[in-house]
Amino acid sequence: MERRPELCSLHGAELSVGNVVKFFFGSTWYGDVRHGLAAALPPCFDSSQSGSRPDVGLRGDAFGFRRVARQPDGETVDIPEVCVTEFVEDHHADLSSQKTRTAEDGSDGSLASVKAQGRIFVWDRAACRLGAAEEAYPALQDSQVGLRRRWPAHGWVGLGMVAVFWPLNWFLPGLRTHLLFFPLWLGYCLAVDALVVLRKGDSLLTRSPHRYVGLFLVSVPAWWLFEALNIHTGNWVYQGAKYFTPAQFAILASISFSTVIPAVFGTAELASTFGWLRHTKPGPRIPKSGTVLLGFFVVGWLMLALLIIWPRLFFPFIWLGPYFVLEPINVWMGHRSLATTVDRRDWRPVLALWVGVLICGFFWEFWNFYSYPKWIYHVPYLGFLHVFEMPLLGYGGYLPFSLELFAIYQFVAGLIRRNPERTYVHLVSEAGSQQA
């Protein structure tokens, strides 16, 4: 194993990591691990900054432990995930017994590894990502050391739900989709979330369960916004809606609408792990200047006005107007925005959303085809070359739709959270990259 230069000082990290190692692997290994970390960690800590760090600790929840920091004002906030990953040096050993645990560290750093009691510990402080370990330590691949993660339990639940509710939704007679749409898409969300965990170590659900629930809550009014605009365009209608009272339809539809944002964001995080997307080169810059933002804002309201006045001509603006209005508002209010990333010429968050929503769009239309109740489209001028119920060109509307969902979520999240700098939706998978 390649060794790193001696560490000048571990500060509080040595104690906290030691506590985690003690907790999960027993006190016997602690001495070896502590000594090994002191020799193997890169010289990344500045002792002059140790006094300015907030108090750091561990918080337990259903998914294990995560780092929390107590700010000077007393507020406790999460710190990006850190992993202590144990895997057996002998690649013939049973890899199913490997464990990945979240540790804590009150400082910035990159990667460290230490060999103790015949096992290798890889500590990636920048991101809970085995890819970073492989890049920093090519010897791990050369020595055929196994790098594996377990498929999370909620992923099995998700796959089971899809396996059960997909055929029921297609083959049961009569009205059924009003009851089966939500569990089918909840299964999709859980399965995709588990796949994200498998690929990069954490996910929307494991990162914050209560925020994951919040995605479902925000999704309901977000989609009702488009339903309100569709009153003017009539681009889609629901077959079978006549069998429900207005109150029944509103309740059942809201439950189904709640899965839209979790599905899109979860699939976008999955897309962010694709190698070609992570290594996409910088694109054109759209400056986040006052003039550009004001232009977006004015054009957005103009689009919505044209949509309402001449819906048959300007119906595509239903997928553009809300984004053009909300994106400048998010910037002006200090909320997270895609404008910030494209101002840096980083289009990866946008590409992740586009890939994610196209995957979701395929499954929406695919599962809808044999559903009942179901939606059908009435799109002027473009109602040809159908792929399922959707005209082929209509799939292009999913691209700006994903940006609208992101802007709506960030607008709502920015209004209710106390720390607007905290990230939750991670659309750039690389360690050290700015998250959208």
Instruction: Give me the DSSP letters along 109-164.
Output: --EEEEEETTEEEEEESS-S-HHHHHHH-HHHHHTT-----PPPHHHHHHHHHHHH
Does 73 share its domain with 187? no
What average pLDDT score do residues 297-309 get?
98
Burial classification of residue 338, based on how many CB atoms lie within 10 Å of its CB (0-12 exposed, 13-18 middle, 19 or more buried) = buried
pLDDT band at 423 (very low <50, low <70, confident <90, very high): confident
**Same domain, yes or no: 253 and 126:** no
**Is 339 found in the same domain as 195?**
yes
Give the separation between CA 16 and CA 103, rounded to whole angstroms. 8
Are 134 and 177 found together in one domain? no
* pLDDT (mean) for 361-382: 96
Looking at the structure, tell me whether residues 127 and 167 fall in a common domain.
no
Residues 89 and 205 in one domain: no
Is 172 in the same domain as 209? yes
Bridge partners of residue 119, in order along the sequence: 88, 116
If you write DSSP's letter for every residue of 336-359 in order, what string do you get?
--HHHHHHTT--HHHHHHHHHHHH
Residues 133 and 229 in one domain: no
pLDDT band per the 50, 70, 90 thresholds, residue 429: low
Token pair listed for 265: 């964001």
- Please check the confidence at residue 42 and state whether its pLDDT lies above 70: no
**Cα–Cα dist 105/15, whole Å:** 9
Q: Is residue 332 part of a domain?
A: yes
356 backbone φψ class: left, alpha, beta (φ>0; ψ -120 to 50): alpha
* 292 and 358 assigned to the same domain: yes
> What six digits make up the tokens of 131?
């890819």
Task: Kindly state whether residue 266 falls inside one of the protein's structural domains.
Answer: yes
Of 88, 111, 142, the domain-final residue: 142
Q: Indicate if 94 and 162 belong to the same structural domain.
A: no
Q: Residue 194 in 3-state DSSP?
A: helix
Question: Cβ(330)–Cβ(336) under 8 Å?
Answer: yes
What does the pLDDT read at residue 428? 84
Q: Distances in Å between the alpha carbon of 249 and those of 163, 222, 244, 253, 434?
A: 26, 17, 6, 6, 41
Tell whether 148 is covered by a domain. Answer: no
Q: Is the same domain home to 120 and 218?
A: no
**Domain containing 390: what range?**
153-416
Tally of domains within the chain: 2
Q: What is the pLDDT of residues 383-395, one digit of tens each?
A: 899 999 999 999 9
Distance (Å) of CA 49 to CA 74, 272, 295: 20, 33, 43
Q: Does 431 map to a domain? A: no
- The confidence band for 422, taking pLDDT boundaries of 50, 70 and 90, is low
Question: Region 229-255: what's the mean pLDDT?
Answer: 97
Q: Pairing mode, if any, of strands 55-61 and 64-70?
A: antiparallel
Do 265 and 333 lie in one domain? The reply is: yes
CB-count burial class (<10 Å; 0-12, 13-18, 19+) for 229? buried
Higher pLDDT, 205 or 70: 205
Give the angle 285-291-295 at the CA atoms, nearest 5°. 90
The answer as to whether 3 is a domain residue is no
